[in-house]
Structure 1
Amino acid sequence: MIESNAPNWINSLIDTLGAPGAGLAIALENLFPPLPSEVILPLAGFASSTGRMSLTAALLWTTAGSVVGALALYGVGALLGRERTVAIAARLPLVKVTDIERTEAWFGRHGTKAVFFGRMIPLFRSLISVPAGIERMPLPLFLALTTLGSAIWNTVFVGAGYALGENWSEVTGYVSAYSKVVLALAFVAVLVFVGLRLFRPGSGQRRGRSSS
């Protein structure tokens, strides 16, 4: 068994299934963002360095897992659709339909960059698939951007685990700090959004798209 600081279920998957186990763990991480990709990927690299799987297999399977997880969330967004999204937004406090419309406009301009670079940002690397599905980004484009962005992210951390060997867990400290910065910025953005809504409660009436 791989001796490490990783949760037992990750060790078990990799010990039992090898590279496909690492891919399955990453697919689950995409669906449940709190799961530790910063542990799974370097651990897969370490397992490769010990000969339990090839480095190529680790990279291919973890990238495949990323794509499968992202595709599932894309499907959630596609099933949700714009009308349901607007209906949900209309019921949320401090959220206006105009916010959804601005988000749609922004995604229309920057969606490809958001999907690609979002694969390298903790938490958002999973969540960005949902608006892509809601906006029905062409599936071949979504898959291409997701595969490329995920391959870059996975290669960096699998490669780091491979290079560090038994010291693979050092990677988690750097990724944890990066994640905390991202989450702190997201928290500040939410506070600013709420603050603007509370101090300008009458601005921007709720509205939807006019029916054609």
Structure 2
Amino acid sequence: MKKSLHSPNSIEELMLRAESMAGLTLGQLANFHEIQIPKDLKRHKGWVGQLIELELGALAGSKPEQDFAHLGIELKTIPVSALGKVLETTYVTVAPLTNIQGLTWEESVVCHKLQQILWIPVQGDRDIPLSLRQIGSPILWRPSAEESAQLKQDWEEIMEFISMGQVDKVTARHGEVLQLRPKAANSQVLTDSIGRDGKLTQTNPRGFYLKTQFTQRILSQLL
């Protein structure tokens, strides 16, 4: 595998690099970096994102900070259909299930990661072989005051359930734009969380995701 390119020194440099990717296929990019292309994404769910991170010089990896922390930008690939329809929810970060007393929206990892996002649309139709899927034009997005308020309200409502030991009551239907879902390879994976009596109990890890209606709106406004 080739080493990743240096991380961009400015937003302008990042956008130029992202724009130069537009129109390329995942296969072309993978060949350039000498990376093997999986047959499908069933067992390689994060492969597309990792390939784009490599090309753009993202630094964060799995750390709880923005991919381009020095530029204040998070990177998100987003699978879209031939008609521009967003095909799946967007993972943001792992949800904290313990030690959350006094945590505010402004201090949260979710808020930090959603300050500014570079969206990279990628063809996601399953009938297109992975190697032939094209990369779309990049979109740099900051939430509006209204979008920020929606995200904050959803986060606070979900975190209230967690703090009261009722994380198991939260379903993917909660939240207008942000949702909480299990985030683990399987249901056998457990982690500590606050129980109903305030003591620690065990539950499946959870993650925050942006709902498709929300990301569809972002793409439709900016494409």
* Fold similarity call, TM over 0.5: no
Higher helix residue share: 1
Q: Relative contact order, CA 8 A, sep 6+: which one is greater?
A: 1
Higher strand residue share: 2
